Amino acid sequence: RTVYVNGDWVPEEAATISVFDRGFLMADGVYEVVTVLEGKLVDFAGHCRRLHRSLSELDIASPHTEEEWLQLQRDLVHRNRLREGLVYLQVTRGAEDRDFAWSEGLTPGVVMFTQARSLVDNPLVERGLDIITIDDLRWQRRDIKTVQLLYSSMGKMMAKRAGAHDAWMVEDGLVTEGTSNNAYIIAGRRLITRQAGHAILQGITRTAVLALAAETGLELEERPFTVAEAQAADEAFVTSATTFVMPVVTVDGVKIGDGQPGPMARKLREHYLQQAR
């Protein structure tokens, strides 16, 4: 693969970054994952807007304009002949001697790479996900897409070791989101998902899926829900750029509905994929 590192296109084996990069030392950086379907970037504008917002919340100047990011990502997809998979983009504050305080005006570090992956034909769609719940021990600004992903990774491992697929995080008795996705339940005709705010990442897929709720015959209720409410729901699912709409069939071992992927979740996935392609 060809990767992009601070202005250069290099074979992945030859790519280097500084050991003093604050992304590496302090998790001082942000990222985006943009899906590629049939060689095209999905919802690039939304991801780019969120990237710029994350950077601005951390007081890092964006090293590129939206138009430049688009050209760079297209170039990367083209160089790697990527048809289906993802583009990973990371911007860190920059490199200097390790210190908690940083110098103003460092040159941001930029890394981009692709990962080829079959995303549309995912066998988990037919099976549905088993979810465990864990305390949400992350910091209080989950709306910023930082590379500080240790607790989310630990949560995913806790799920795997428990024989499940993923974990939903719970704060004050209410579900915030999944380790790397937004969480939803459907009760009757109501689609319930936590409102945007500092407690969750405002998913780009979430925005797209919520816009499709009405045409799928669902009424939107943006509010947090409890684990018990999820367990009593008719359906549940998660969304992210790489999984689109993915049904959830158990939460802490309790079956959702009949324990099969729900019809509304499937319909939302279809509608989402139609407009994404």
Please give the residue ranges that form the binding site for ligand PDD (CB under 6 A): 33, 177, 180-182, 201, 203-206, 239-242
The yes-or-no answer on residue 156 being catalytic is no
Q: Which residues of 137-154 are buried (b: 16+ CB within 10 A; e: fewer)?
A: ebeeebbbbbbbbebbee
Q: Supply 131's token pair.
A: 């979810």
Number of H-type helices and E-type strands within the chain = 8, 15
Catalytic pick from 145, 156, 160, 255?
A: 145
Q: Rounded to the nearest whole angstrom, what is the least distance from the CB of residue 103 to ligand PDD in the complex?
A: 29
Q: Which residue type sits at 276?
A: A
Contact assessment for residue 228 and residue 178, using Cβ atoms and an 8 Å cutoff: no
Q: Which C-beta is closer to ligand PDD: that of 2 or that of 182?
A: 182
Quick one: 95 or 183, whose CB is closer to ligand PDD? 183
Nearest to 129 by CA among 228, 272, 239: 239
Q: Please tell me the distance from the alpha carbon of residue 146 to that of residue 37, in angstroms, as a whole number.
A: 25
CB of 263 to ligand PDD, least distance (A): 22
CA pair distance 133, 155, nearest whole angstrom: 9
Compare residues 95 and 272 and give the one whose CB is closer to ligand PDD.
272
C-alpha distances out from residue 154 to 130, 173, 252, Å: 17, 20, 17
Sheet holding 109-116, edge to edge: 8-11, 2-5, 109-116, 85-92, 29-37, 40-41
Nearer to ligand PDD, 30 or 95 (CB): 30
Query: Contact at 8 Å (CB) between 240 and 180?
Result: yes
| 176: nearest Cα among 149, 205, 139 | 139
- Shortest distance, position 271 Cβ to ligand PDD, whole Å: 15
Please, what is the minimum distance in Å from the beta carbon of residue 206 to ligand PDD?
6
In the complex with ligand PDD, which residue's Cβ is closer, 16 or 140? 140
Least distance between ligand PDD and beta carbon 35 (Å): 8
Annotated catalytic sites, by residue? 145
